[in-house]
Every structure is written in C-alpha cells, then in structure tokens.
Chain A
Amino acid sequence: MSNPDSIARLQLRKISKRYPGCLANDAIDLSIQPGEIHALLGENGAGKSTLMKIIYGVTAADSGEVIWHGQRVNLRNPAQARSLGIGMVFQHFSLFETLTVAQNIALAMGAAAGTPAQLEPRIREVSRRYGMALEPQRLVHSLSIGERQRVEIIRCLMQDIQLLILDEPTSVLTPAEAEELFVTLRRLASEGCSILFISHKLGEVRALCHSATVLRGGRVSGHCTPAHCSDRELAQLMVGEAAGLIMDYPKVSADKAFLHINKLSWHNPDPFGCSLRDIDLEVCSGEIVGIAGVAGNGQDEWLALLSGETPLPRQQGETIRFGGQPVAHLRPDARRQLGLAFVPAERLGHGAVPQLSLADNALLSAFQQGLVSHGLVLRSKVEHLAEEIIRRFGVKTPDTKTPARSLSGGNLQKFILGREILQQPKLLVAAHPTWGVDVGAAATIHRALITLRDAGAAILVISEDLDELFQISDRLGALCGGRLSALRPTVETRLSDVGAWMAGQFDAPQSPAPAPV
C-alpha cells in the first residue's frame, strides 16, 4: 500500500453470486490499473454479464469485496457507481427511443445536466473531442445502431469517468465501425481512463487490450496478456476441454436449386423498420448458404417473408418459390407442407411458447405430422414425438411436461431445431441458430445442420456470428440496408470481404482468393 502506483483502480476479491439453479460467479478475482484496457473473456454463460452487473451496482454480490482506489465500497445501485466514476455501455442499449439524444443524456446525469441550453454545447464538445459525430437534437429512434452506441458512450463520458465498461460492444458493429470505436477507446485509455472490455472475440481482444481475465463456468480460468497468447491458448482457457468441439466441416457445392427468391421487395409500414429491396437468391438442395449482417438491416423482415408470417399478395406469389412452386402468398402452415422448416431467432416467445410444456411446443409447428385427428389432439402421439426429439438431440430435461422456459438456451434450441428437423424438411431456414448457446450445444447444432445438409436439404442460415458462418456455410453473402450482396463460395471469401458487404459495399473489388490450405 506504500507505493501509490500499485493501487489498482478497481479490484475484485472473491466475488460470488448464486442464482436459483446456478452459481454465476464463483470467487472471482480481478484487478484493473488506471489507463488499462482490460478484457473480460468468456463464452456465453461464463458469468461475464453477472460480474459486470455487480461492478455497476445493478445486482449485489452474495459475497466478496469490491475495492475502488484501495477503498472497500458497497455498490448498491448504478447511480452510486456512476458517482464513483464508473460508466457502462450495455449490449442491448439502455436508451429511450422516443427521447432525443440530449434528453437521454440529461436523464442519466440527473441534476448535473442543467438546462438543455447548457447541456447541448457540452455534448457537442465531447463528441468532437473523441471523434464521435452526434447531433443532440435528434430522436434516438432515428439513429443507426452505431450512432446509438455513441450516445451510450458519450453519456458515460459526460461525467468524470474513471472506468468504462463495454459489454460486447462490437457485436452490433461492422468491422470498420469497430475499428473506429477502438480508436476512441485507445484515446480514452491514454488519458488515464480504465476500460473493461467484455468480449468473446479473440481477434479484437488481441488488437485492443493490454491484459485479459478469462472466465469459464463462473470461475476465473486464467489471467494473461492477449498480445502474447495464441488463439489456441485463449480458446483453451475459454472453453477448456470443449475446445476440441470446434471443428472444420468439409465444404460442398450443389447445383439443384430448391429455394428461389426473385426480385423480392417489400415496403415496411413501420417507420422504424427496414424495407427490403430486390433480393435475389437461390439455395440448392444439399448446401448451406450463410447470410451475414448487422442486426436491423432487414433480417427480421426477410425471415418473416420467408416463413410466411408476412404473406405477400397473391400476384406476387412468384417472388419466392420452393422447388418451382410459388409460395410468397402462402401462410406458414401451407409452406411447411411444401417442405419448409423454420428456426426463428428468438427461442422463447417465437419459436416456443415459454409457459407451455415441451410436448405442447412439439405440437406447435409439427401439428401437420398426423398429430391431430377430427379436430382433437392425439396426446400419445404428441408425447411420443416430444420424447423422440429429446432422445435424438440430447435435450437435457426432466420430462416432456417441463415448460419451455425452464430449459437452458442451448437445450431449448436443440429441442426447437430437433422439432424442425424431424419434420424432414426440404428447406430449413435458421436465424442465429447458436446465439446465446453454450459451446457443447453449439457443436451439436452445427453437426445436426451439416447432417441435414448431407441428407439433401437446402439450408439458409442468417447469423451475426461471422465465425459460425465461415465454419458451416458453403456459400456466403450479407444483408445491408434491406439489400443482399452477391453470394460467393466460402472458400473464396475473406473476412474483410464480408465486412465490406456488411457495410453496404457490395461492389467492392474482388480480393484474390486465399491460397487453399
């Protein structure tokens, strides 16, 4: 304690937090120096979110100490954390869409905000200093995702900030936008602000962070200097034995198109939504086509058009065809009869009804598989189907009567995917199939998709996770602003190409194909 340089800005000692049914944080130690960019690495469910909520005062730890500038503090709420100089940028932004940028910032600052006339020049000044253009008068709902993140960051910077926590900040950004963010963060760190950077992407952690703490299953599995570690070493720390589950699947090419999308355009009546323009795509039987893109670029709208939740007028039926048959005007159940299966992005509240049992959720989309007779539900058949899904896809659940919401994300996703696959689809459309799923379940899901592909089904995967898309897709493309880029075989595509497509540069000069490995 004699040397002031040795006092960490933030130190955590033996932080533990238990939720019903799981130990989210188990005796976690962490220390961040002034001006340090510190990575908190870990898979989904490793306990990152819980830990940062404890640091930001959103949740209280069951035991352990939080030490701030050498003083033990008891963080009761975010306001107190902010008054200490801790700021946080959430993954799902905590902004108010119906308010302006300035009002959003004023709300967070409390009385310190002063009048709007005093506040706006200050916002402009901060945004200029850190190179983040922002207009205080604009309503938040009119901002892009990247701009919203800037609002969150500037909101933190308006106060005397000493520790900035960012939760997976690049998951909503294109690679180029992420690079801009890193410039801002480095600048902040050079001014002495500490940064806690939460991520599961190894590349960006290596590029940005001075040091890293890796979590696995709620415990610290290691501390390291990312610049000195290989991907393999970091991955080993993050996923442990499961590292072997990440594997390469052979790429294939197919030529018999099943799904034809021809000049699909759709005007979105929702002023906050995204409209689709001139989408052309063919997906062949026996291949996986992956579509990248930052959320909010038309994925949800396109998925609804594909699944039939948004049917088009009859005269536009030809814009989507399954094996030559026009379907764009058909409803979901009619499309299923023609061979469609669909795994939506949201498991609870879209792909499954949270309160209903697994058996009822099996009935939800499989009711055309002979489960209903004379208007009555054939209970024993439904039970049988649910049991088969559980057995074949290794779903961990006490029984078929368990409500969907009490399953973990990975198990529920396996159940939903299994339900769709057992309907023997000719076309499977899957959105973010492994989002928020643990590594083991993700590997199971990827294997199931590959098996389905090899059995001859056409598969369309829409995801924000580029690693996943490169891993399982045979051809790749990206959505931006409601338009779809051209598609290219995965083996001829580089990460930077997809990055350019995601930013809307569809006609970027084709980079030479990487040498075959």
Chain B
Amino acid sequence: MLLSLEPRGQQSRLMLWCSPLLAAVLTLGCGSLLFIALGHDPLQTLYTLLIAPISDLYGVSEWLIKTLPILLCALGLAVAYQARIWNIGAEGQLLLGALAGSAVAVNIIDVQSRWALVLILLTGTLAGAAWAALTAWLRTRFNANEILTSIMLNYIALNLLLFCVHGPLKDPAGFNFPESAMFGEASRLPLLLDDGRVHAGLYFALLALVAVWVLLQKSFVGFQIKVLGLDARAAGFAGFRQKPLVWLALLISGALAGLAGVCEVAGPIGQLVPQVSPGYGYAAITVAFLGRLNPIGILFASLLMALLYIGGESAQMSLNLPQAITQLFQGMMLFFLLACDVLILYRPRLNLRWIRRARTTAVQAGAL
C-alpha cells in the first residue's frame, strides 16, 4: 500500500477538531470536481451556493431561520448519542411536534391571548417527547433496537401528518389543498426584527444551547450519560440507573425536536403543510457528528448545514442544479468526517519503498 497507518498510541486532540474542518474542505473540493464535471464554473457555483445567499440582511435572517430547527434537533441528538442511543427519529419527532401544535392551533385561531402560543409550543414539545418516549419504551421494555424503531416511527409520523392534512386538519376553506388553516395572530411566534422573518424561536434555541451545554459538560447526569455511552458495564458498576438515563436522553432529544417542529409551524410557515421539514431531522444527524456532540461545535455545524440548505435553493433557482445537492453534500461531509477521524488515532505514513518500486516499474514500462 502506498499509504500506511500507524497507531499514535494516544488520540490527537488537534485532529479531533481539525477533522471536521478537513471534512468540510474535502466536501467542497469534491463538490467543485462535480461542478466541473457538470460543466459549471466551480468557483462561481460555490459562490452561488455558499456566499450569495447570505450577502444581504434578508439572506442572513433566512439563514438563521433554517439554522434553528437543525440546531434544536442536533442538540437533542447529541444528548442521545452521548449515551450511544442511536435516535434516528428526530425527523419524526419534529413532524409530530408540528402536527400536534397545529392540531391545537387550528382550534384556537380566534383566541387573542398570548397563552395560545404557550399552549401550542408546549403541546408540540410534549408531542415530540412522547414520540421519542415510544422509542424509549420499546427499547427499555422490549429491548427493541432504537435505530430501527425510530426510523419506522419517522415513516409513521410522516404518514400520520399526510393523513391529517388531507383529512381532519384540512382547511375547510382551503380549496381542497392539503393544508391546515392559517394560525391566529396570537398563535404565531413574534418577529424579532422588522426586516426578515427571524422569530422568537431564536431565544429557545439559545436557551437549549446553554442548557445542553450545562447538562453535558457540567452536570452529574451528563457524566452518567457519557459513561453509559462509553461503557455500559462501568455504568452498571457505578450503579447508574440505565433505564431512566435512556428515557431521559430520548425525552430531551424528542422534546427539542418537537419544539423545532412546532416553531416551524408557529413561526415562518404559519400553518401545517405536508413539507414542514425538508429533512431537518436527518440533517441534524450529520450536524451532531460534525459538531463532535459538543453544543458549541453543533452551533457551527448547524450554521454550515443551514447555509447548504439555502445555498441549495439558490443553486436550483440560478444554476438549475437539483436541490438534492444539499443532501448530497450532507452525506459526503459525514462520510469524509468519519474517514478523517481515522487520523485522530492513526498517523498516515507514505510508504516510500512502494513509491520507489512503482517508479522502477514505470521506468521499465517506459523502456519497453
């Protein structure tokens, strides 16, 4: 082999944080090659994708709006993943939060009180937590693999949402479109700026960021969650209660995803539509890993991911590139990250003997 890996003996703290950056750079590099192959100017395309969308205040506000749900979901996932509970169900938990919040909202459209909003947000958050609780229950009570159950619950949640917008929650005055009625003014999240659509959900996200940071970095419960994830036997040795920890991690995860969902419908969208989420829950998986399950890292990773989302939209409009480019980059980035992580524990080494041999062979081949 041309490249060989040699164990470092200790993990490299430098690479721990360089690896996500390297992954991002490699993704952009690979993306550029792809653009060249498709006949686009790579620099121009990258500009359209990453810089043009946020070059004005409106763009920045759209960027923040997209960041919110991804950040909330990824923070929740980080808690679960620290405990090695592979919750893939953020998408479903988000959808259910949106669905339940909307179910309340369309019934109190005429209520003028601000309590309407509180009720809606609370319902959505709890619904997300309840959806995750199903996964927790199936895992702790029946030992069912949480990856598969949470994925299945995603599909069920999506179908439930479709059923509701086509049936019980459909706006009677909506010309038979699969949409709910617009929420009442009191049920909408207030805007923070006159320009753009940045809403009060931003406060929740910042609050969640601090709370998750304290939980994971400072609290004893966070320590227990970490030990459970790294080494379940040691957690048993110390007497940490496994089942309550699994429940807690999944409930936090689900509640934050539910909050993300209800903030979407009560914020920028204002009603329940089938396309509440363009895959925020899945993007959050990449973000959680990219941010190293660390709240601060996740903040930056979700900003990057949100940028990819709005960049994908603008690339579709101005360059006629498929919007799936967002997901493609997501997958690439996660892949590159996992591949680059090998450098945390190993040092790459060029195998010079191999090069020499290859060169000799090449020379011989040339002589013939």
Contact A350 B237 (CB under 8 A): yes
* Set of chain B residues within 8 Å of A403, measured between Cβ atoms: 10-11
Contact A331 B234 (CB under 8 A): no
- Rounded to whole Å, the gap between the CB of B97 and the closest CB of chain A is 27
Say whether B213 faces chain A, with CB atoms less than 8 Å apart. Answer: no
**Which among A21, A333, A354 is the interface contact of B238 at CB below 8 angstroms?**
A333
Say whether B278 faces chain A, with CB atoms less than 8 Å apart. Answer: no
Q: Among residues 317 to 371 in chain A, which have CB atoms less than 8 Å away from a CB atom of chain B?
A: 331-336, 342, 344, 346, 349-356, 360, 363-365, 367
Say whether B189 faces chain A, with CB atoms less than 8 Å apart. Answer: no
* Set of chain B residues within 8 Å of A331, measured between Cβ atoms: 239, 241
Given known A350-B233, A353-B231, A406-B9, contact A365–B238 (CB-CB < 8 A):
yes
Listed A/B pairs (30) with beta-carbon separation below 8 Å: A308-B239, A331-B241, A332-B237, A332-B238, A335-B239, A342-B237, A344-B237, A349-B231, A349-B234, A350-B233, A350-B237, A351-B234, A352-B234, A353-B227, A353-B230, A353-B231, A353-B234, A354-B230, A354-B231, A356-B227, A356-B230, A363-B223, A364-B238, A367-B238, A372-B220, A376-B218, A377-B220, A403-B10, A403-B11, A406-B10
Say whether A299 faces chain B, with CB atoms less than 8 Å apart. Answer: no
Contact B220 A20 (CB under 8 A): no
Q: Among residues 368 to 414 in chain A, which have CB atoms less than 8 Å away from a CB atom of chain B?
A: 372, 375-377, 403, 406
Contact A375 B219 (CB under 8 A): yes
Say whether B331 faces chain A, with CB atoms less than 8 Å apart. Answer: no
Bound CA span A346–B231, Å: 12
Say whether A307 faces chain B, with CB atoms less than 8 Å apart. Answer: yes
- Rounded to whole Å, the gap between the CB of A299 and the closest CB of chain B is 16
Bound CA span A263–B42, Å: 77
* Set of chain B residues within 8 Å of A356, measured between Cβ atoms: 226-227, 230
* Set of chain B residues within 8 Å of A21, measured between Cβ atoms: 9
Interface residues in chain A, defined as those with a beta carbon under 8 Å from any beta carbon in chain B: 20-21, 307-309, 331-336, 342, 344, 346, 349-356, 360, 363-365, 367, 372, 375-377, 403, 406
Say whether B236 faces chain A, with CB atoms less than 8 Å apart. Answer: yes
Contact B236 A309 (CB under 8 A): yes
- Rounded to whole Å, the gap between the CB of A166 and the closest CB of chain B is 30
* Set of chain A residues within 8 Å of B230, measured between Cβ atoms: 353-356
Say whether B7 faces chain A, with CB atoms less than 8 Å apart. Answer: yes
- Rounded to whole Å, the gap between the CB of A190 and the closest CB of chain B is 45
Given known A352-B234, A353-B230, contact A336–B219 (CB-CB < 8 A):
no
Bound CA span A351–B234, Å: 6
* Set of chain A residues within 8 Å of B8, measured between Cβ atoms: 20
Bound CA span A352–B234, Å: 6
* Set of chain A residues within 8 Å of B214, measured between Cβ atoms: 376
**Which among B220, B227, B234 is the interface contact of A376 at CB below 8 angstroms?**
B220
- Rounded to whole Å, the gap between the CB of A6 and the closest CB of chain B is 38
Overall SS of chain B's interface: helix
- Rounded to whole Å, the gap between the CB of A155 and the closest CB of chain B is 31
Contact B237 A367 (CB under 8 A): no
Q: Which residue of A lies closest to B218 (CB)?
A: A376
Interface residues in chain B, defined as those with a beta carbon under 8 Å from any beta carbon in chain A: 7-11, 214, 218-221, 223, 226-227, 230-231, 233-234, 236-239, 241
Q: Which residue of A lies closest to B220 (CB)?
A: A372
* Set of chain A residues within 8 Å of B220, measured between Cβ atoms: 367, 372, 375-377
Pairs of residues from A and B, 3 with the lowest C-beta to C-beta distance, nearest first: A332-B239, A333-B239, A20-B9
A309-B237, A363-B223 known; 12 new pairs, CB 8 Å cut-off, are: A20-B8, A20-B9, A335-B239, A344-B237, A349-B234, A350-B233, A354-B231, A364-B238, A375-B220, A377-B220, A406-B9, A406-B10
Bound CA span A307–B234, Å: 12
* Set of chain A residues within 8 Å of B226, measured between Cβ atoms: 356
- Rounded to whole Å, the gap between the CB of B190 and the closest CB of chain A is 33
* Set of chain B residues within 8 Å of A335, measured between Cβ atoms: 239
* Set of chain B residues within 8 Å of A333, measured between Cβ atoms: 238-239
Contact B10 A351 (CB under 8 A): no
* Set of chain B residues within 8 Å of A363, measured between Cβ atoms: 223
Q: Which residue of B lies closest to A342 (CB)?
A: B237
Contact B239 A336 (CB under 8 A): yes
Given known A332-B238, A350-B233, A352-B234, contact A377–B9 (CB-CB < 8 A):
no
Contact A349 B239 (CB under 8 A): no
Q: Which residue of B lies closest to A367 (CB)?
A: B220
* Set of chain B residues within 8 Å of A20, measured between Cβ atoms: 7-9
- Rounded to whole Å, the gap between the CB of B32 and the closest CB of chain A is 36
**Which among A344, A353, A376 is the interface contact of B219 at CB below 8 angstroms?**
A376
* Set of chain A residues within 8 Å of B11, measured between Cβ atoms: 403
* Set of chain A residues within 8 Å of B9, measured between Cβ atoms: 20-21, 406
Contact A334 B239 (CB under 8 A): yes
Q: Which residue of B lies closest to A346 (CB)?
A: B233
Contact A307 B219 (CB under 8 A): no
- Rounded to whole Å, the gap between the CB of B319 and the closest CB of chain A is 45
Bound CA span A78–B8, Å: 26
Bound CA span A452–B234, Å: 24
* Set of chain A residues within 8 Å of B238, measured between Cβ atoms: 332-333, 364-365, 367
Q: Which residue of A lies closest to B222 (CB)?
A: A377
Bound CA span A372–B10, Å: 29
- Rounded to whole Å, the gap between the CB of B11 and the closest CB of chain A is 8
Contact A364 B219 (CB under 8 A): no
* Set of chain B residues within 8 Å of A365, measured between Cβ atoms: 237-238
Contact A375 B221 (CB under 8 A): yes
Bound CA span A359–B219, Å: 15
Contact A350 B234 (CB under 8 A): yes
* Set of chain B residues within 8 Å of A352, measured between Cβ atoms: 234
* Set of chain A residues within 8 Å of B218, measured between Cβ atoms: 376-377
Q: Which residue of A lies closest to B9 (CB)?
A: A20
- Rounded to whole Å, the gap between the CB of B185 and the closest CB of chain A is 40
Q: Which of B214, B231, B234 has the most CB of A within 10 A?
A: B234
- Rounded to whole Å, the gap between the CB of B87 and the closest CB of chain A is 21
Bound CA span A22–B226, Å: 31
Bound CA span A346–B239, Å: 16
**Which among A332, A336, A346, A354 is the interface contact of B236 at CB below 8 angstroms?**
A332
Given known A355-B230, A364-B227, contact A377–B219 (CB-CB < 8 A):
yes
* Set of chain B residues within 8 Å of A307, measured between Cβ atoms: 237
Bound CA span A351–B236, Å: 10
* Set of chain A residues within 8 Å of B233, measured between Cβ atoms: 346, 349-350
Bound CA span A377–B216, Å: 11
Bound CA span A353–B231, Å: 6
Q: Which residue of B lies closest to A382 (CB)?
A: B223
Bound CA span A290–B231, Å: 29
Bound CA span A346–B218, Å: 28
Bound CA span A363–B237, Å: 12
